[in-house]
Structure 1
């Protein structure tokens, strides 16, 4: 049997390598902190938007700053959606490229499952939203992509709150699924939600983007060279009519992952990720959530009317039911067709809980809702209520399922920590 593939290659959610597990753990800790800040910002926005001082919140959101050149005279809410989220997608681009070039997902067998689960987790919610809005009077098909996104920071914040000892393989799967989800979402935004396209600025954006790529390929780290090129690329993409967050992904993909030599220290993608992830998780996403989540229930026609709107129903159904069916069903199909097995000690209840957790859609869902219905419109308000309600229901259901498994994994973790050698690496990650 020496020619048989190693057991981990035939397992879904098998243990990754120890360096990759350690790196993912650091990322998850940062995203968890960002998720808590996101929750605080969203709650603060909801309270303020439904308080006697709601007019001040709207005035702050609609305050216009910036030059008219390149159409940069934007409101603060638009700066958060177009500018700060570009930082978020830049980090997502860095992470996705690193995973597939130097991470455990460079192995196609490991990459297939989270990619397939991300596709299934986007397709089924879109179908549910479309079916609801095509079948009910007053529906709108424009928001079909709203319930397709998973918010990794929000999801990890929920995990932190319930204190689950979910295995690293499942946490890595959730992170990878969400990053692939973000890439697919930005593709949907670029293709389906670009209202008018101006080719000249878009072609001009290739010049600073190309210079940025040339410099980073030569391992140049000087911010005073790279930052102006990145900002100019972002501005030109924004002026072209394509959503400016696309520029963040393109800039992230341009950064090299592999080091030039073994002694060069971390790769440039890892270096930039360490520098920019705190800004993304701790500032960009919470500030966007603050401006995007402040929906006035009274202004949306009342909570009862909002919940009867097909847009709201479709989003809730897509996030709660569609995400669960899409992620869980696709994972089961991968297991059936590849004849793989779940990793040691794992249960399909874990995958079920994780699939429910993937129904927490927030940051990108709010962004797509604004693009689909128009910021400040009644349907946009209903979409935001649907996103908030669907995410809350998905979080509560996932909490119930994962809390049941919490004690089991806590006991396993304690055993692993006792078995760790003096080098601090658990024996299960060391080759015999």
Structure 2
């Protein structure tokens, strides 16, 4: 038993050391105040010493913040949370950007296809369900040129024949051709009066109107319309026959003798000049009507192709508008992405660096200053004015220290030192 007691005495039971309490900011304030009091007391509160001491306690505080990993994690937590959120948003923006680019690419492909259709529809309209001849454009222009000359001929013919039939006085030297075509018709109608001029100028449009009606009725070939077309041709023939009768009568009367009978329908029907005048007008009118109908048909074919092209161009314009909107969205997304990348880089540098809680430092350094000033008022023997100036100079040193460190602000809690490359 004695041996066991001796061994127990050689190795006494070691009591566990009590855990150190974590210092709070208030505890640190007391410590800094005490340090300021003692440091000032040792150097009689010299401002030069205060400046040096403040720089020392700042670097001590800074190094302390760097090594306190848990405190840094706590300070960096908002930045880490923000970084996580920004990266999530950046990922979503990347996916959104890809979708927008795919939509834009599809629209551009559609635009390219429609442009190809515009070229191909002129070559092969049947491939697009258009019942039109691809040569309709050339046939249209050929017919249009012919129609133009026929219109000019018809206009001259009916002006001349109308004036000759209703207003002209023939002389014995007048021949058949001179009876139909009279170069002075417009001038003499103008001299005769406005009504005469208007009559012979507008009478060709009666025939053009009849030709237009024939085309419109023939365009819808119902029984009633066919009857109307036949009646219009008969009307035109009768009108031409009247003009021919009046002109042929005037020409007959120039050479008539007392033995010759009066001019009549039977004489007109047996007169070659009567039929020449009729067919010079009526046949040309029929040809004009047929060419006009052909030109209108070709124009309708051209309209089918052109209307189809117009619809394609409208679709292209609509797609271009949509493409422009997608481009604007892409530009906006890329701008947001760039901003997010910049911010993520900033946050990563902040997290890899360290954070200085400047308000904490200002609170502690202020306590140090208070201790320093307190020591001056207690232990430095000066007059009231000298003491006041001495304290003011020390305050100025402290203010300059805060300003030089760029800590003279209350707009932010922490000062961030990012990682330097």
TM-score computed with the length of structure 1 as normaliser:
0.18
Larger Rg: 2
Choose between structure 1 and 2: higher helix proportion.
Answer: 2
TM-score (norm 2): 0.19
Larger RCO (alpha carbons 8 Å, 6+ apart): 2
